Every structure is written in structure tokens, then in C-alpha cells.
Amino acid sequence: MSTSNLDIYMPILILLIFGVVLVSATLLIGKLIRPNNPSPVKNQPYECGEDPIGSAWSVFNMRFYVTGLIFIIFDVESALMFPVVGVFKDLNDIGMGGLVFMELFLFLLILAAGLAYCWRKGDLDWVKTYHTEKGQE
């Protein structure tokens, strides 16, 4: 006697729904018992007592995007490496370890080249320095 196959995903669904329900229910219950006296000043965003100037949804610095960009490439890379790394031990036991190691090594080497390129070109630097022709700055 064992659980049927898809039943194993039950806890995941229960937990996700539980999280949603917990947040909604607590906020709903809280609505009944907590005070609610909004005022225009209270509902301002907090900026150390000053009146806020403009919206915060303004154009941000590009470097956050560059971080996300390099991240997603490495994220995808690790996602692709998970199954290969997972079978490395099995294949090593039957004497194919060298081959798989070489494949992994090549894969990592190509991506390390990408990282090295970004490093060399200064994409990894947070404080960007721009080299002008005159060598100033």
C-alpha cells in the first residue's frame, strides 16, 4: 500500500494555498479589530518629515539591469548543469567519469570566458569608471 503518484505534490499545493490564505485571512481579521483613522499626512510616503517631491517610480540606474542580466545567464547555466552533475557519480562508477568531467569542464570554461569578458570590460564594477582618451577621470 502506497500513495498514488501525484499525491506527493499535495503538500506543495497545501502549503502554497496556506500561505495565500494565511496572509489574506490575517489581513481580513485585522481589518475588523484594528483602528482606521487615515489622514492625508499619515498617508504620505515617509521621507524623513519632508514633503515628498515627485514619484519614486522614476528611471533608475542601468547597472541593476546588468546585474540581473549576468545573473539570468548563470542561473540558466546552473539549471542546465543540475541533471548532468546529478548523474556524474553514476557514470563515474562505470568508468565514464573522465568524459563527463571534460564535458562539464568545457561547459564551465565557455561560461567562465563570458564572466571574464564582463569582468575585463568593467560590467561587474559597481562604480563605473569611464576611460577617456586623454586618460583623465
Partner 1 sequence: MNQTVVSYLLQFEPIKKLVLSLSNLLGFNAISIVSFLIFLIVILIVVGFLATVGGLGTYAERKISADMQARIGPNRVGPYGILQFLADGAKMLLKEDIIPTQSDKFLFYVAPMLCIVGVFGTIAVIPFSSGFTILNFNVGLVYLIGISSLVGLGVFLGGYGSNSKWSMLGGMRGASQIISYEIPVVLSSLSIVLLSGGLSFSALIGAQGGWPHEWFIFHNPFTFIGFFILFIGSLAETNRAPFDLPEAESELVSGYHTEFSGMRFGFFALAEYIEVFVVCGLATALFLGGYNVPMHLGGDGLIGQVLQVGSFVSKTFLLYYIVIVTRWTLPRLRVDQLMTMCWKYLIPIAMFNLIMVGLWMWLFDGRSLFTLLFKSASVASGAGH
Partner 2 sequence: MGFYSYLVVSTILFVLGIVAVLARKNIIAILLGLELILNASALNFVTYTRFVNNNIDGHIFALFIIIVAAAEAAVGLAIVLRFFQIRETIHVDDATQLQG
Partner 3 sequence: MFDTILFIFAALAAIVGGILTISVKNLMHACVFLLLTLLGVAGLYLTLGADFVGVIQLVVYVGGVVVLMVFAVMLTSGSNAQKVNRFGMVKIPTMGNFRTYTLAGIFAALILMSIIKLYRNVFSMARLEKLPEYYPTVSKIGHSLVSTHVLAFEISSVLLLGALVGAAIISRPKREMR
Interface with partner 3, residue 57, by CB under 8 A: yes
Contact status: 128 vs partner 3 (CB under 8 A): yes
Distance of alpha carbon 49 from alpha carbon 32, whole angstroms: 30
Q: Which of residues 34-93 bind partner 2 (CB under 8 A)?
A: 62, 65, 69, 72-73, 75-76, 79-80
Q: Name the 3-class secondary structure at 43.
A: coil
Give CA–CA dist 107/100, Å, rounded. Answer: 10
Nearest to 88 by CA among 115, 107, 109: 107
Q: Does 92 bind partner 3 (CB under 8 A)?
A: no
Site membership for partner 3, residue 113 (CB under 8 A): yes
Q: Pull the grid cell for residue 66.
A: 546588468
Interface stretch with partner 3, choices 23-31, 33-41, 44-52, 94-102 (CB under 8 A): 94-102
Residue 110 found at the interface with partner 3 (CB under 8 A): yes
What string marks each residue from 99 to 118 as x (binds partner 1 by CB under 8 A) or -?
Answer: --x--xx--x---x--x---
C-alpha to C-alpha distance for 1 and 5, rounded to whole angstroms: 12
In whole angstroms, what is the distance from residue 25 CA to residue 12 CA?
A: 20
Which residue from 59, 62, 94, 127 is in contact with partner 1, where contact means CB under 8 A?
Answer: 127
End-to-end CA, the chain:
74
Q: How many other CB atoms sit within 10 Å of the CB of residue 102? A: 10
Give 41 or 62: the residue with its C-beta nearer to partner 3.
62
Question: If binding is defined by CB under 8 A, does position 122 make contact with partner 1?
Answer: no
Q: Which residues bind partner 2 (CB under 8 A)?
A: 62, 65, 69, 72-73, 75-76, 79-80
